[in-house]
């Protein structure tokens, strides 16, 4: 197999759509999530030997540490290897002074610490691959503050800034890995359904997200995954360390 990918948050939503599209494009995929779900189970059946689900709770430090080492044995060494840090949670949706502290710690661990640890291990352990690329799935919430999304937006802003550091470091390295944090747009997934369940007093932007759904303005996971992969696999990937998929030419 010439091309392979490690995808986190692969069981539902954007992550599952990314796995589906990667398989269609000939990749072998190591898919990490806490659950397999019907989606990954049927992909594994349809693509025997090319889709491997690995049960991983990436909010847990030990499972963050072992994730890349567990995934690599399922991927034959080839030319191109992708890491897509996609797993994320939007909770807690609350304003400072009202956070559940454990939910705060869990969100930062999953949304920020996990991708940093996975990038670190990926850079250290995959030097034999000729073309390595890292896509950190970020959010417009990294750049714009929404009351109630302080935890989510801060985690994503951290991911953006980490990606800027990685991009500079890699540009100066002998065998640079291409890296970018990318805002994928607004996508019709469980995460958006959870956002619509927030209380207005916690999240004053709620009406905007209710309206986007009512107006049919959300991207399908399939469409969003297609755009992200076109960008990730293209020549221009990595030119901007932080990019909004909606603003690309
Ligand atoms: N949807 C949007 O409009 C939107 C917009 C901007 C950015 N994003 C970003 O896009 C990414 C995917 O979002 P989505 O909308 O597809 O979310 P989603 O539908 O809620 O799916 C989240 C995925 O993450 C996995 N996950 C959750 N907790 C995990 C944990 N502790 N360890 C490992 N995996 C875990 C889930 O699988 P399990 O439950 O099986 O573990 C699931 O596969 C996120 O980073 C999100 O911030 C989404």
Residue 167 lies in a domain: yes
Q: Atom of ligand 1 at shortest distance to CA of 111?
A: 45
User: What pLDDT, on the 0 to 100 scale, is given for residue 1?
Assistant: 46
Mean pLDDT of the chain: 97
Percent of the chain predicted with pLDDT > 70: 100
Q: For residue 14, report the distance from its CA to the centre of ligand 1, in Å.
A: 7
- How far apart are the C-alpha atoms of 88 and 59, rounded to whole Å? 10
Minimal-distance CA residue to ligand 1 atom 8: 139
Residue 41 lies in a domain: yes
Query: Would strands 3-8 and 80-85 be described as parallel, antiparallel, or unpaired?
Result: parallel
Residue 216 lies in a domain: no
Q: For the chain, how many structural domains are there in total?
A: 1
Residue 7 lies in a domain: yes
Minimal-distance CA residue to ligand 1 atom 25: 9
Please confirm, yes or no, whether 146 is among the known catalytic residues. no
Dump pLDDT digits (tens) for 188-245.
999 999 999 999 999 999 999 999 999 999 999 999 999 999 999 999 999 999 999 9
Within 6 A (CB) of ligand 1 lie 8-15, 33-35, 56-59, 86-89, 110, 137, 139, 184, 186-187, 189-192
Residue 247 lies in a domain: no
Average pLDDT of span 59-74: 98
Residue 194 lies in a domain: no
- In the set 99, 146, 152, 183, the catalytic residue is 152
pTM: 0.98
Residue 214 lies in a domain: no
Q: Atom of ligand 1 at shortest distance to CA of 10?
A: 43
Q: Which residues contact 133 (CB under 8 A, 6 or more apart)?
A: 80, 81, 82, 83, 177, 178, 179, 232, 233, 237, 238
CATH number, domain of 18, equals 3.40.50.720
Helix (H, G, I), strand (E, B) or coil at 241: coil
Residue 151 lies in a domain: yes
Minimal-distance CA residue to ligand 1 atom 42: 9
- Has residue 6 got a pLDDT over 60? yes
Calculate the CA dihedral of residues 72, 48, 79, 132 and round it to 10 degrees: -50
Range of the domain at 80: 3-185+221-238
Q: Atom of ligand 1 at shortest distance to CA of 17?
A: 16
């Amino acid at each position: 197999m010439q091309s392979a990918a490690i995808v986190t948050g692969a069981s539902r939503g954007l992550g599952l759509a990314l796995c589906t599209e990667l398989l269609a494009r000939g990749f072998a995929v190591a898919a990490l999530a806490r659950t397999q779900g019907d989606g990954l189970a049927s992909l594994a059946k349809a693509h025997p030997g090319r889709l491997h689900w690995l049960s991983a709770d990436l909010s847990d430090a030990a499972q963050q540490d072992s994730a890349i080492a567990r995934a690599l044995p399922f991927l034959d060494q080839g030319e191109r290897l992708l890491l897509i840090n996609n797993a994320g949670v939007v909770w807690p949706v609350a304003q400072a002074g009202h956070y559940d502290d454990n939910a705060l710690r869990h969100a930062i661990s999953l949304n920020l610490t996990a991708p940093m640890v996975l990038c670190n291990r990926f850079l250290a352990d995959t030097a034999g691959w000729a073309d390595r690329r890292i896509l950190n799935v970020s959010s417009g919430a990294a750049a714009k503050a929404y009351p109630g999304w302080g935890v989510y937006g801060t985690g994503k802003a951290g991911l953006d800034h980490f990606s800027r550091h990685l991009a500079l470091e890699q540009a100066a390295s002998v065998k640079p890995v291409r890296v970018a944090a990318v805002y994928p747009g607004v996508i019709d997934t469980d995460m958006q359904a959870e956002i619509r369940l927030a209380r207005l007093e916690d999240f004053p932007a709620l009406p905007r997200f209710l309206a986007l759904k009512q107006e049919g303005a959300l991207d399908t996971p399939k469409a969003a995954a297609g755009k992200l992969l076109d960008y990730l696999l293209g020549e221009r990937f990595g030119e901007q360390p932080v990019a909004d998929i909606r603003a690309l030419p």
